[in-house]
Structure 1
Amino acid sequence: MPLHPSSRVQKAREELAGRLREIRQDAGISGREPAVRCGWSESKSSRIENAKTPPSDADIKAWCRACTADDQAPDLVAANRQSAEAHVEWKRLQRTGLRRLQESTGDLYQQTKTFRVYVSDVIPGFLQVPGYAAALLSSIADFRGTPDDVSDAVAARMRRNEVLSKGGRRFSFVLEESVLRYRLCSAETMAAQLGHLLGVMNLQNVAVGIVPFSQQRAVWPMPTFTIFDDRRVHADTLDAASTLTQPSQVDLYDRAFERLSQQAARGAAARSLIADAVASLG
């Protein structure tokens, strides 16, 4: 099988193959032995171990069983499933505009019961007012050169965000104080956005924490990420959207969120930080 056209996907396949090879080596068995124990050809084992053929979930489980490493199978299966979608370039996601991207996560949002969101750059999409969302999405469209469908994208985001008040879902947000200060829109719009944030904090299913500038850090500010029901993480970079589903990856982000959450001001202290940000608008 030829190399995958996406270098990211090919790299993920090679990393998976490398992990399978290490499991075999740690078990102290020859390259031929997994084929014997799994009941398939030696050439198949060679293709899997050299990233020539992507293994199925069943192949991975059989390989781990043959190497007495069943405990590693769940992580490897998850890695195999996400290899083709773990890193999706924003250019590809946004090439038809921003509206469809807002709508693409609708099913995931409906299926999720608990959201945990950490942001270090902008107000979380869940909590944005239309004016702030329009300013942000306009900036994204201009930077990436995507079709200008910002009005439709904002409307789609507002519809998507209805999950905040429907269906018994719970939301936990941790924001860096910088999020309150970055000026992505007019002072008037930012004041409205911060006022909305104060109002959202009254909802019983929403918890908001803010990490103050003055807080001595136990963990450093990180790129934005969202955890969906302890099953899936979305972590974004400048060039790509990453979907992470391996249990070990989700656990890593879970620990990061908990530590960041411990650093956050809440209640009256958080409201005071927001009020100070409003006052700074002049």
Structure 2
Amino acid sequence: MTTTAKEAREAFGERLRNLRKDAGLTGRQLSKLAGWPPSKVSKIEYGKQVPTDDDVRVWCTHTDAADQVPDLIANLRNVETAYLEWRRMRLPHRQKQSIAVEAKTTLMRWYEPVVVPGLLQTPPYAEAILRMVLNFYDEPESDIESSLRARLERQQVLYRGNHRFYFIIAEQVLHTLVGTADVMLEQLDRLLTAMSLPRVVLSILPMEADYRTPVNNFIMFDIRMVQVETISAELTITQPSEIALYEKAFHRLKDQAVHGQDARAMITAAMDKLRDC
């Protein structure tokens, strides 16, 4: 078991321990009420044993915390998978997992502050991104071709099925140089084309927008899951209370972003700047 999985179990156990203490119960008292062996509460609280869904329900029943059952069970199911270390996942496999998740999603909402979202990337832009990622993590570039094929295969979801997409990108994305100027010009033109797709909305958060929400890149899959990429790992979030925060953040970003002709004008201005360089 990886260290991060161990930490996730311990954090979950600490949350249950706090519920027990708030209810004024000792571990032995809770075990007796639940009909468990005396050591079970201690093992769960210190991450040495993963409880079942029923264990969580029983725990909440006896600690007067029934309202927390949905969040706790969502968290429980995510304990072993919420934190996925990049070094432990090969890129082609990661891309294929994304295809499966996206295929099941009706509404995908995506915020990116620095680079173009993967579903909207051109092949040269995507290749430049993948080369940078592999280089940063000291991974062999032998994965490039298979990773690129998988990433481009993901984009088919834009044209198939009954999926809807709402992308918000920061204005910085238009100016982050990925590859060469020609690669960027092609990519920005691709954004203009994507804006005409019937099930795609693309908005841009202006650089001068007020700071109204703490935010990093994230992808929302309906209201069942959120993915967040950090430097060292990818987080998969399924707790309803946490998903609600990301939904709140997305709505605030949406209120500040521009779309339609204003967004097109920003993209065109970025293209003109590249041509003048």
TM-score normalized by the length of structure 1: 0.93
**Residue among 230, 239, 245 paired with 2:223:** 230
Alignment of 1:116-135 (within 5 A): 116-135=109-128
Q: Provide the residue aligned with 1:151 in structure 2.
A: 145
Q: Provide the residue aligned with 2:53 in structure 1.
A: 57
SS of residue in 2 equivalent to 1:281: helix
| Sequence identity percentage | 38
Q: Provide the residue aligned with 1:102 in structure 2.
A: 95
Q: Provide the residue aligned with 1:202 in structure 2.
A: 196
Instruction: Report if the CA contact (8 A) 1:225-1:236 is conserved.
Output: yes
Q: Provide the residue aligned with 1:212 in structure 2.
A: 206
Provide the C-alpha distance between the structure 1 equivalents of 2:40 and 2:212, rounded to a whole number of angstroms.
48
What is the CA distance between 1:175 and its match in structure 2?
Answer: 0.4
Q: Once structures 1 and 2 are overlaid, which stretch shifts more, 262-271 or 10-19?
A: 10-19
What is the CA distance between 1:132 and its match in structure 2?
Answer: 0.6
What is the CA distance between 1:49 and its match in structure 2?
Answer: 2.3
Q: Once structures 1 and 2 are overlaid, which stretch shifts more, 77-86 or 42-51?
A: 42-51
**Residue among 174, 181, 192 paired with 1:180:** 174
SS of residue in 1 equivalent to 2:274: coil
One-letter identity of the residue aligned with 1:81: R
Alignment of 1:5-20 (within 5 A): 5-20=1-16
User: Runs of 5+ in structure 2 lacking a partner?
Assistant: none
SS of residue in 2 equivalent to 1:280: helix
What is the CA distance between 1:213 and its match in structure 2?
Answer: 1.1
Q: Provide the residue aligned with 2:242 in structure 1.
A: 249
What is the CA distance between 1:13 and its match in structure 2?
Answer: 1.4
**Residue among 28, 32, 42 paired with 1:36:** 32
Provide the C-alpha distance between the structure 2 equivalents of 1:46 and 1:87, rounded to a whole number of angstroms.
24
| Closer/same/farther in 2, CA of residues 138 and 24 from structure 1, 3 Å limit | same
> Does the alignment pair 1:189 with 2:183?
yes
Provide the C-alpha distance between the structure 2 equivalents of 1:272 and 1:92, rounded to a whole number of angstroms.
41
| Alignment RMSD | 1.3
Provide the C-alpha distance between the structure 2 equivalents of 1:49 and 1:134, rounded to a whole number of angstroms.
45
Alignment of 1:53-92 (within 5 A): 53-92=49-88
What is the CA distance between 1:223 and its match in structure 2?
Answer: 2.1
What is the CA distance between 1:281 and its match in structure 2?
Answer: 0.5
Provide the C-alpha distance between the structure 2 equivalents of 1:110 and 1:212, rounded to a whole number of angstroms.
31
Provide the C-alpha distance between the structure 1 equivalents of 2:179 and 2:109, rounded to a whole number of angstroms.
26
Provide the C-alpha distance between the structure 1 equivalents of 2:131 and 2:63, rounded to a whole number of angstroms.
53
Provide the C-alpha distance between the structure 1 equivalents of 2:18 and 2:159, rounded to a whole number of angstroms.
48
User: Runs of 5+ in structure 1 lacking a partner?
Assistant: none
Instruction: Report if the CA contact (8 A) 1:217-1:263 is conserved.
Output: no
Q: Once structures 1 and 2 are overlaid, which stretch shifts more, 21-30 or 228-237?
A: 21-30
Q: Which digits, 9 at most, give the CA deviation of each residue in 1:168-217, with x for residues without a partner?
A: 10000110000010001111111111111001111121111101112233
One-letter identity of the residue aligned with 1:31: G
Q: Once structures 1 and 2 are overlaid, which stretch shifts more, 41-50 or 181-190?
A: 41-50
One-letter identity of the residue aligned with 1:196: R
Q: Which digits, 9 at most, give the CA deviation of each residue in 1:41-84, with x for residues without a partner?
A: 11112221232212111111111012121111111112111111
> Does the alignment pair 1:21 with 2:17?
yes
Q: Once structures 1 and 2 are overlaid, which stretch shifts more, 8-17 or 121-130?
A: 8-17
Provide the C-alpha distance between the structure 2 equivalents of 1:100 and 1:219, rounded to a whole number of angstroms.
33
What is the CA distance between 1:23 and its match in structure 2?
Answer: 1.0
One-letter identity of the residue aligned with 2:5: V
One-letter identity of the residue aligned with 1:191: L
Q: Provide the residue aligned with 2:271 in structure 1.
A: 278
One-letter identity of the residue aligned with 2:25: I
Instruction: Report if the CA contact (8 A) 1:234-1:241 is conserved.
Output: yes
One-letter identity of the residue aligned with 2:146: D
SS of residue in 1 equivalent to 2:69: helix
What is the CA distance between 1:40 and its match in structure 2?
Answer: 1.4
One-letter identity of the residue aligned with 2:64: T
Q: Once structures 1 and 2 are overlaid, which stretch shifts more, 129-138 or 47-56?
A: 47-56
Q: Provide the residue aligned with 2:233 in structure 1.
A: 240
SS of residue in 1 equivalent to 2:12: helix
